[in-house]
Structure 1
């Protein structure tokens, strides 16, 4: 590839392919450069370090999770229905990733564990989306909580088993949907009566 045609996006595409082929332990910036047929110095002009490149890969991967959820958070209509659909979509995205390509999911999970700041920003974004839905539910008298942000954080933490990669091995359990339905009823009850405001 011509150095002048190289973009951050094309580098990230190549990095994803290299990670798919070699895994996070063996993939290097040199491998990405070789894949693109450029010098590794060219990669460093766009990403100053291997860590910066991996952070960018993790950020793009996590954005693929958060972007469709943002659409649900911004919709109008019943907050109860939207919040339930938001979590259903989150769980569906995560399950598809782990079931369709378990090795790639493990690779991205390993990268995300190294990119702590990127993951924290991602979680913060997800909590803000939940808070946005809860705020609309307060406005429509569906929810009765004093602090949408605190309630959103509590809801996110209460459902972590169903969307955090550390629990991926549990997602194929036959009772996982029933378990979520039970947790959801408790969460919804807390939002409706205002018990998730602390």
Structure 2
């Protein structure tokens, strides 16, 4: 049996530095204006060296988005793991998703360029993120069913309905582009969704 090679800490460090630098450029000047040459120059390396780790700017953006979505997923999982009624936890998850997206887009107005690029060029990254968030909601809804709080036959389907219903409130691009007065207040939407889950 051959042992696997240990991870190259230097390579991992270089990848992390590339991603951190790229994320800063995406935030400061936008995804479209950022070039691999910009990233390489800031890091004191050649573009060819950057391409040793990522074969394109698209690949860099995918990795940046994956790191960002991973942070969101960890936050949501922590909320789901709290003690208390499933309804309270589901409400807290939706509020956390909305607050996180709104705060990030306010702090980094150019973030929507990065998100739009990921949606256009790397839909798989976004799709997997949505699937993982939906899976957390499904788990909470299933726990609510077992506790007698909710009456739904299919928690997975219910979670997909909830995810679709809150898209307007939690998608960074929609938060920027859609006026706040065209949708019901977030808590009103959550009340509506919880009523549906309780009524089956």
Same structural fold, with TM-score higher than 0.5 when normalized by the shorter chain: yes
Show the counterpart of 1:56: 63
Cα separation, 1, equivalents of 2:25 and 2:104: 18
Does 36-45 or 149-158 show the bigger shift? 36-45
* Aligned counterpart in structure 2 of residue 47 of structure 1, from 37, 41, 54: 54
Show the counterpart of 1:155: 162
TM-score (norm 1): 0.86
Distance 1:170 1:35, change over 3 A: closer
Cα deviation 1:17-60 (Å, max 9, x = unaligned): 22233321121112111110012222222222222111101111
Show the counterpart of 1:144: 151
Query: Is the CA contact 1:62–1:122 (under 8 Å) kept in the aligned structure 2?
Result: yes
Please tell me whether residue 188 in structure 1 is matched to residue 194 in structure 2: yes
Cα separation, 2, equivalents of 1:37 and 1:89: 38
Does 49-58 or 126-135 show the bigger shift? 49-58
For the residue of structure 2 that corresponds to 1:102, the secondary structure is coil
CA offset at residue 133 of structure 1?
0.6
CA offset at residue 182 of structure 1?
2.1
Distance 1:10 1:76, change over 3 A: same
CA offset at residue 168 of structure 1?
1.2
Cα separation, 2, equivalents of 1:55 and 1:140: 39
Moved over 6 A (4+): none
CA offset at residue 174 of structure 1?
6.7
Cα separation, 2, equivalents of 1:180 and 1:189: 14
Task: Give the number of equivalent residue pairs.
Answer: 189
Query: Is the CA contact 1:143–1:191 (under 8 Å) kept in the aligned structure 2?
Result: yes
Show the counterpart of 1:78: 85
Show the counterpart of 2:30: 23
* CA RMSD of superposed structures (Å): 2.1
For the residue of structure 2 that corresponds to 1:64, the secondary structure is helix
Cα separation, 2, equivalents of 1:192 and 1:82: 14
Please tell me whether residue 125 in structure 1 is matched to residue 132 in structure 2: yes
Cα deviation 1:65-102 (Å, max 9, x = unaligned): 22211111223321010000010111111111122332
Query: Is the CA contact 1:29–1:40 (under 8 Å) kept in the aligned structure 2?
Result: yes
Show the counterpart of 1:106: 112
Query: Is the CA contact 1:58–1:115 (under 8 Å) kept in the aligned structure 2?
Result: no
TM-score (norm 2): 0.85
Cα separation, 1, equivalents of 2:126 and 2:82: 25
CA offset at residue 61 of structure 1?
1.8
Structure 1 runs not aligned, ≥5 long: none
